[in-house]
Amino acid sequence: MADARIGTRSLLALLGDWRLPASGPSYLALFDRIRLLVLDGRIAVDTRLPAERDLAQALGVSRTMVSAAYRELRDAGYTQSVRGSGSVTRLPGRAPVGGHDISGDFIDFSKATLPAYPGLFAATQDALSDYPAALTTSGLDPFGELVLREAVAARYTERGLPTSVEQVMITIGAQHAIFLLARVLLGRGDRAVAELPSYPHAYEALKAAGARLVPVTVAAAGTSDDGMHGWDAAGLSQAFARTSPALAYLMPDFHNPTGESMPAELREQVLSDAARQGTLVIADETSGELDIDRAGSFLPFAAYGDAATAGSAIMIGSVGKTVWSGLRVGWIRAEPAIIRKLAGARFAGDLGTPVLEQLVVARLLRDFEPVLALRSAQLREGRDTVIRMLGERFPDWRVPRVDGGLATWVNLGAPISSQLALAARSRGVLITAGPRFGLDGAFERFIRIPIGYQLGELERGLDALAESSGSLAHAPVPPAELFADVV
């Protein structure tokens, strides 16, 4: 039997207005929306869907229509009929794009990444000279290779935060760090502050640890009707004071997906509020050094605390955004007692980070400025290109001019994000609908556009988006108040 299930009310919130645009049979529209929810992870694999009769009653449609939609899902490989569980979500062997195998020619805008750093291969070759010495050890160290811990500590110190190796643990990328921290530091039922919108897999890690999420809004500049942008500072302070969370997960630099950066005074306030409530703050800084032209200089998050508050900060970093997403090496910077606690719990889930990759990253961190200079130039060109192209193709969209990071969070002007993502998929473009970055169906008016792709890929992808948007243009748009609960 499936252990997970989604209730009828929860599914309704995710479905939104699944019948927009009204093109084709209703059962196919419902099939398409549930398919997208499975593809982008809003409904997890191996989740039991509501019974046909219950969903039909909630939607106000015939059971025959829901049965037809479920049959399409089953025939396409997105569900399986399981005795005692009804319809349980699955993924096909390869998720199709418009009925075609995704191994073909398609643009994947669902990943905000950069091409591999050109010097990575040479750094890997150089690291091989360090490998013989490593081969004399077991290769199993939950703290990580000393040479890399020293390099990470030195990098923090160079950036204005004195750090010792006892404060550093090497992980298998940033996502592993988030999952490990959530598993070790959260108990079932604990509250955890999380930004809204945010990185979807962080939500998943916090929920998997049993946390009850306390959302705090972040708005991208130029996308809200009231002109506000950045963090809801008052709401953030109130979240700490009212809920006494065990943990907070924040992205203070080039926030994903909005691109916002937290002001220095708010960083200080967060650490003060956290220390007062006994809350640990995870600052995800994986994109923190992807600066294009941000005004002012920013330090690592813990540097904004004093002797009484800095210990509340736990920082996550990695080379997945700066060097290559396939180089799965990250790190945690925290107080030594927390690092020891994490190391003690780690063997239940993994036996350490691959050694050769650690040696490669240690080499790169010794001279990291050329990496960052190249990335800044690439992202500047990508950002300016995306702004220009979106302005030409979608003059009504609100496109923030981000000053760093890997994407821009675009206001579409109408609650069409999921429909647009589905239409784009049929034209060979994978793009994540806005609600994937929210909770309970929020952000149908938004979509994340990556800025790290090369010119040809951007042109092809945005042209396909324009065609997809055009296919929605003649559909009736419901009144805005219908979507007030999700924008």
Q: Is residue 28 part of a domain?
A: yes
Q: Place 203 in a pLDDT band, splitting at 50, 70 and 90.
A: very high
| pLDDT grade for 473, boundaries at 50, 70 and 90 | low
Mean pLDDT over all residues of the chain? 90
**59 and 130 share one domain:** no
For the residues 6-26, what does the mean pLDDT come to? 77
pLDDT-derived band at 29, boundaries 50, 70, 90: confident
Residue 287 contacts by C-beta under 8 Å, 6 or more apart in sequence? 251, 253, 254, 256, 321, 404, 405, 406
Q: Which of 366, 396, 421 is the last residue of a domain?
A: 366
Give the CATH number of the domain where residue 325 resides.
3.40.640.10
Confirm whether 485 is domain-assigned: no
Kindly report the CATH number assigned to the domain that includes residue 88.
1.10.10.10
Question: Residue 171: pLDDT above 70?
Answer: yes
Query: Per-residue confidence at 470, pLDDT binned at 50, 70, 90?
Result: confident
pLDDT at 95 over 50: no
Lowest mean pLDDT among 22-31, 135-144, 209-218, 251-260: 22-31
Cβ neighbours for 365, distance < 8 A, ≥ 6 positions apart: 148, 151, 152, 154, 155
User: Where residue 21 falls among pLDDT bands split at 50, 70, 90?
Assistant: low
Is the domain of 237 the same as that of 358?
yes
Q: At residue 90, does pLDDT exceed 90?
A: no
Q: What is the pLDDT of residues 107-165, one digit of tens each?
A: 999 999 999 999 999 999 999 999 999 999 999 999 999 999 999 999 999 999 999 99
For 43-69, the pLDDT digits (tens) are 877 889 999 999 999 998 999 999 999
Decide which of 95, 129, 158 is a domain's last residue. Answer: 95
What is the separation, in whole angstroms, between the first and last Cα of the chain? 35
Distance CA 373, CA 392 (A): 29
411: containing domain: 370-473
Tell me: do 123 and 52 sit in the same domain. Answer: no
- Same domain (yes/no): 196, 216: yes
Residues 84, 229 share a domain: no
One domain for residues 69 and 29: yes
**Beta bridge mates, 282:** 249, 314
308 and 236 housed in the same domain: yes
Which of 238, 235, 325, 231 lies closest to 283, judged by CA? 231
Both tokens of 364, joined, read: 């790169």
What is the number of domains present in the chain? 3
Do residue 129 and residue 19 come from a single domain? no
Assess whether 246 and 158 both reside in one domain.
yes
Answer whether residue 103 is part of any domain: no
pTM for the model: 0.83
Same domain, 439 and 380: yes
What integer is the mean pLDDT of 460-481? 70
Supply the CATH number for residue 398's domain.
Answer: 3.90.1150.10
Q: Are residues 245 and 389 in contact, defined by beta-carbon separation less than 8 angstroms?
A: no
Any idea what the Cα angle at residue 342 is, between residues 289 and 331, rounded to 5°?
Answer: 20
**Cis (ω within 30 of 0) for the bond into 50?**
no
| Domain presence at residue 110 | no
Asked if 359 and 145 touch (Cβ cutoff 8 Å), the reply is yes
User: Quick check: 484 pLDDT over 60?
Assistant: no
Task: Spell out the SS3 assignment of the chain.
Answer: CCCEECCHHHHHHHHCCCCCCCCCCHHHHHHHHHHHHHHCCCCCCCEECCCHHHHHHHHCCCHHHHHHHHHHHHHCCCEEEECCCEEEECCCCCCCECCECCCCCCEECCCCCCCCCCCHHHHHHHHHHHHHHHCCCCCCCCCCCHHHHHHHHHHHHHCCCCCCHHHEEEECHHHHHHHHHHHHHCCCCCEEEEEECCCHHHHHHHHHCCCEEEEEEEECCCCCCCCCCEECHHHHHHHHHHHCCCEEEECCCCCCCCCCCCCHHHHHHHHHHHHHHCCEEEEECCCCCCECCCCCCCCCHHHHCCCCCHHHEEEEEECCCCCCCCCCCEEEECCHHHHHHHHHHHCCCCCCCCHHHHHHHHHHHCCCHHHHHHHHHHHHHHHHHHHHHHHHHCCCCECCCCCECCEEEEECCCCCHHHHHHHHHCCCEECCEHHHHCCCCCCCCEEEEECCCCHHHHHHHHHHHHHHHHHHCCCCCCCHHHHCCCC
Q: Are residues 301 and 439 in the same domain?
A: no
